Chain A
Amino acid sequence: QVQLVESGGGLVKPGGSLRLSCAVSGFTFSDHYMSWIRQAPGKGLEWVSYISTSGSAIYYADSVKGRFTISRDNAKNSLYLQMSSLRVEDTAVYYCARARGVGGVVYRFDYWGQGTLVTVSS
C-alpha cells in the first residue's frame, strides 16, 4: 500500500537550518509530483511547496520563498525539504504528500504522511 514517512524534525534555534526527508513506497515515485504542507500548532494547513517529477519545476509559498528548498531523489524514492533561516513561525508539523493535477499543474494531494514536528525556539 502507499506509504509516506517523514523524518528529520526536531528542535532548532531561530536562524538555524534543518533538513526533512520523506521516504515513499507503494507507488512509482518518479511518476508523481510531490509536495510539502505544514500545520502550525492550533492552526490550519498551509501549502509550502511542490516539485515536478524530474525536479525541473518547483513552486513555493511566499512565506518560505528564498529560505526553503524542495528536492527529490527518484533513485531513492525520497523527497526532501531543506529549511534555513528558520523563524519561530515556521514551527509546525510538516507533511509530505503526493500531488495530483493536469498538465504540470497541481490541484490536490491524494496521499499524505503522518508528519514530522519542527519546533523553532531559543
Chain B
Amino acid sequence: QSALTQVTSVSGSPGQSITISCTGTSSDVGDYDHISWYQHHPGEAPKLMIYDVSNRPLGVSDRFSGSQSGNTASLTISGLQTEDEADYYCSSYTTGRTLVFGGGTKLTVL
C-alpha cells in the first residue's frame, strides 16, 4: 500500500490553468478506473472533486476536470480562482479491496 506520487506544490495566477499529476503503479492507478480527487482546505472537511477518473459530483465546478493515462492520473483546474488555493489529494482503488492516497499537492494561487 505505497502512497501514490504527487508533486509537492504547484502555483498559478488567477485565470490560468494548472494540472496536478498523480502517479501510481499497475496495481492501482494503471489497473482501475477508480481514481478520485479531493480538495482540502486545512481545518475543514476534505471535499470530493472528481471520481472515477473524470466524473464531477453535483455542485462541483466544471473548471475541475480529470484524466488518466497508464499509471498516471491528472487533475486540471482551469480559470484559477483564489478560493481554489488548497491541498489536493488523489486516491485510487487498489488490490485487496483497499484504497491508497497520494501525498498531496499544495496549490498556491498567486
Contacts and interface: CB of A to CB of B under 8 A. Distances in A.
B44 interface: yes
B10 interface: no
B51 interface: yes
A76 interface: no
Interface of A: 4, 37, 43-47, 59, 61-63, 95, 97, 100-101, 105-115
Contacts of A115: 45
Most chain A CB within a 10 A radius of its CB, from B6, B98, B99, B101? B99
Contacts, number: 71
Majority SS at the chain A contact face: strand
A54 to B, nearest CB: 16
B51 A107 contact: yes
30 contacts: A37-B101, A43-B103, A44-B3, A44-B89, A44-B101, A44-B102, A44-B104, A45-B40, A45-B46, A45-B89, A46-B3, A47-B98, A47-B99, A47-B101, A61-B1, A61-B98, A62-B1, A100-B51, A107-B34, A107-B51, A108-B34, A108-B36, A108-B48, A108-B51, A109-B91, A111-B45, A111-B48, A112-B47, A114-B43, A114-B45
Nearest to B44: A114
Interface residues of B, number: 28
B100 interface: yes
B52 interface: yes
Nearest to A102: B34
Given A105-B97, A106-B99, A110-B57, A47 B91 contact: yes
A115 B36 CA distance: 20
B48 A105 contact: no
B38 interface: yes
Contacts of A46: 3, 101
B46 A95 contact: yes
Nearest to A109: B48
B48 to A, nearest CB: 5
B93 interface: yes
